[in-house]
């Protein structure tokens, strides 16, 4: 147990609270990388699910737009489709409510309540429905006095709100950071809510925006943030546009020294929702988002309309080979390896000494471009040493065959698109690496 974890637990005991979920603690310790994570046993691989914000924002007008307003009906429909259309089968599990679900006031006991018109049966009923489908329910609150959209925030009510969520059967809390008093109270609020959730005894996955809000003023302490959160947003909100996706990628690459070591089983950097299947990304750009979110070991929260999604986007979001890269049990986040003219090469170490490699063509003019590079640069020189088998996963699956360390690979990439590859080292029966022609 690291000294930081010991200190945190010590403080916890000193407050006279019992840390529950001992099984979770054990799992997190067994699975954890160098940096220890929140002790709730959740998010051992990046969380997968659906979150309403990017696609449905704060649409509360159920009179005008009953199909798309934030209401229990919307989440029930999504839950149903997540099962019937194969989303659950490939790993999407959490159906998540974002901002704008609340009534404008707490109830007479100071407890949160959902807007009675839009959630006439209350959140507990919705949680039961979602659970009956074998799925989990996520909800949203804010560390400050009000949510970003102006609904009652959790400030001053952390324990009551955590208990309310647990009583309702909520499985995930997205905790935003708008309207906080000062930096210290923001951090204290994130820590307090983590303890409060833990103290309920219910396993509630804790999704934070802590680093995003403190970054303008100070460098986030990821060792600390990992102690409290299962994932954390670092950067502004995603929009349904290539500009937004490419901005997130550029920002992540330029901060990868601090971000990559922070990620691992139990705690992940969150580059925000997948906007695949909406209006703003071309097919190539959708491929890029899916491939790079897999490389970044990002939580996969789709924000789209599962009732009206085109088959191509659906098959991309349900692509088992890409999901397997995202969910790789080694739990190491990938990084940008090189940037050469318009091309970027990203790589991610996977279990069993395999690697995922993404080649992205940033050029926004012209047609497909060839990119040729030496295999020996991949995987810290070990990805294909002495040889490896390469499978192309995206844009479509293709076996590319055996490559020796000294060889070159040529990929052809469409503008703003990505080619995603998986490299597997060649081994003989006794597990030693061996050149294919020597076998
Ligand atoms: C933002 C947050 C978004 C969404 C929105 C709701 O601050 O980053 O993801 O939750 O608030 O108002």
Domain shared by 322 and 344, yes or no? no
Pocket test for ligand 1, best of 50, 53, 244 (most atoms within 8 A of CB): 53
Q: Which residue has its alpha carbon closest to ligand 1 atom 8?
A: 237
Cα of 175 vs centre of ligand 1, distance in Å, is 9
CATH of the domain at 421: 2.60.40.1180
Residue 267 domain-assigned?
Answer: yes
Give yes or no for residue 79 CB within 6 A of ligand 1: no
Residue 21 domain-assigned?
Answer: no
Cα of 314 vs centre of ligand 1, distance in Å, is 25
Query: pLDDT confidence of 23, banded at 50, 70, 90?
Result: very low
Give yes or no for residue 337 CB within 6 A of ligand 1: no
Residue 43 domain-assigned?
Answer: no
Give yes or no for residue 98 CB within 6 A of ligand 1: yes
Look up residue 17 and give its DSSP letter: P
**With 0-12 CB in 10 A as exposed, 13-18 as middle and 19+ as buried, what is 90?**
middle
CA 396 to chain centre: 23
Could you give the CA distance from residue 337 to residue 260 in angstroms, rounded to a whole number? 12
* Contact criterion met (CB below 8 Å) for 78 and 96: no
pLDDT at 439 over 80: no
Q: Output the 3-class SS for 416-430.
A: CCEEEEEEEECECCC
* Contact criterion met (CB below 8 Å) for 310 and 339: no
* Contact criterion met (CB below 8 Å) for 346 and 362: no
Query: pLDDT confidence of 39, banded at 50, 70, 90?
Result: confident
| pLDDT of 431 | 52
Instruction: Name the percent of the chain in helix, strand, coil, to the closest 5.
Output: 35, 20, 45
**With 0-12 CB in 10 A as exposed, 13-18 as middle and 19+ as buried, what is 105?**
exposed
Residue 115 domain-assigned?
Answer: yes
Cα of 170 vs centre of ligand 1, distance in Å, is 19
Phi, psi of 205 (to 5 degrees): -65, 135
Q: Report the pLDDT averaged over residues 390-413.
A: 97
Could you give the CA distance from residue 176 to residue 363 in angstroms, rounded to a whole number? 35
Q: What is the rounded average pLDDT for all residues in the chain?
A: 91
| pLDDT of 427 | 66
CA 234, 271, 279: angle at the middle one, nearest 5?
A: 135
- Stronger pLDDT, 1 or 282, i.e. the higher one: 282
In which domain, by residue range, is 388 found? 334-432
- Stronger pLDDT, 14 or 361, i.e. the higher one: 361
Q: What percent of the chain has pLDDT over 70?
A: 89
Residue 3 domain-assigned?
Answer: no
* Domain end residue (candidates: 326, 360, 376): 326
Could you give the CA distance from residue 58 to residue 70 in angstroms, rounded to a whole number? 7
pTM beyond cutoff 0.85: yes
* Contact criterion met (CB below 8 Å) for 231 and 43: yes
Q: pLDDT, tens digit, for every residue of 86-141?
A: 999 999 999 999 999 999 999 999 999 999 999 999 999 999 999 999 999 999 99
Q: pLDDT, tens digit, for every residue of 171-229?
A: 999 999 999 999 999 999 999 999 999 999 999 999 999 999 999 999 999 999 999 99
Q: Which of 311, 398, 430, 412 is nearest to 368 (CA)?
A: 412
Domain shared by 284 and 393, yes or no? no
Residue 7 domain-assigned?
Answer: no
Domain shared by 310 and 339, yes or no? no
| pLDDT of 9 | 33
pLDDT at 43 over 50: yes
Cα of 407 vs centre of ligand 1, distance in Å, is 47
* Residue positions annotated with a catalytic role: 176, 237
| pLDDT of 20 | 38
């Amino acid at each position: 147990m690291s000294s930081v974890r010991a200190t945190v637990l010590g403080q916890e005991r000193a407050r006279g609270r019992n840390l529950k979920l001992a099984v979770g603690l054990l799992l997190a310790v067994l699975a954890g990388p160098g940096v220890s994570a929140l002790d709730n046993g959740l998010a051992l691989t990046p969380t997968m699910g659906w979150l309403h914000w990017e696609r449905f924002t704060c649409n509360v007008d159920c009179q005008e737009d009953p199909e798309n307003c934030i209401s229990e009906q919307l989440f029930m429909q999504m839950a149903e489709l997540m099962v019937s259309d194969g989303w659950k089968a490939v790993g999407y599990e959490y159906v998540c409510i974002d901002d704008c679900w609340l009534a404008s006031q707490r109830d007479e006991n100071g407890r949160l309540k959902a807007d009675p018109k839009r959630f006439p049966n209350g959140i507990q009923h919705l949680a039961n429905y979602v659970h009956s489908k074998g799925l989990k329910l996520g909800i949203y609150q804010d560390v400050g006095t009000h949510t970003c959209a102006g609904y009652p925030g959790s400030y001053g009510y952390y324990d009551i709100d955590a208990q309310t969520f647990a009583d309702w059967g909520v499985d995930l809390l997205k905790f935003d950071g708008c309207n906080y008093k000062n930096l210290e109270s923001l951090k204290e609020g994130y820590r307090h809510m983590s303890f409060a959730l833990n103290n309920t005894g219910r396993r509630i996955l804790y999704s934070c925006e802590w680093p995003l809000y403190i970054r303008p003023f100070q460098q986030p302490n990821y060792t600390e943030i990992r102690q409290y959160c299962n994932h954390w947003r670092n950067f502004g909100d995603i929009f349904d546009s290539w500009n937004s996706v490419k901005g997130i990628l550029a920002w992540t690459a330029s901060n990868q020294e601090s971000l990559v070591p922070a990620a691992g089983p139990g705690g992940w950097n969150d580059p925000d929702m997948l906007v695949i299947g909406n209006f703003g990304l071309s097919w190539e750009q959708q491929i890029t988002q899916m491939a790079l979110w897999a490389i970044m070991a990002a939580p996969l929260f789709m924000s789209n309309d599962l009732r009206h999604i085109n088959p191509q986007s659906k098959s991309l979001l349900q692509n088992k080979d890409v999901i397997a890269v995202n969910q790789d049990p080694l739990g190491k986040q990938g990084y940008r390896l090189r940037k050469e003219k318009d091309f970027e090469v990203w790589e991610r170490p996977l279990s069993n000494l395999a690697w995922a490699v993404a080649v992205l063509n940033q050029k926004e003019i012209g047609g497909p471009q060839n990119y040729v590079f030496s295999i020996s640069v991949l995987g810290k020189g070990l990805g294909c040493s002495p040889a490896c088998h390469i499978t192309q996963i995206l844009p479509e699956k293709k076996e590319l065959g055996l490559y020796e360390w000294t060889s070159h690979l040529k990929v052809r990439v469409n503008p703003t698109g990505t080619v995603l590859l998986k490299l597997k080292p060649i081994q003989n029966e006794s597990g030693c690496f061996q050149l294919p022609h020597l076998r």
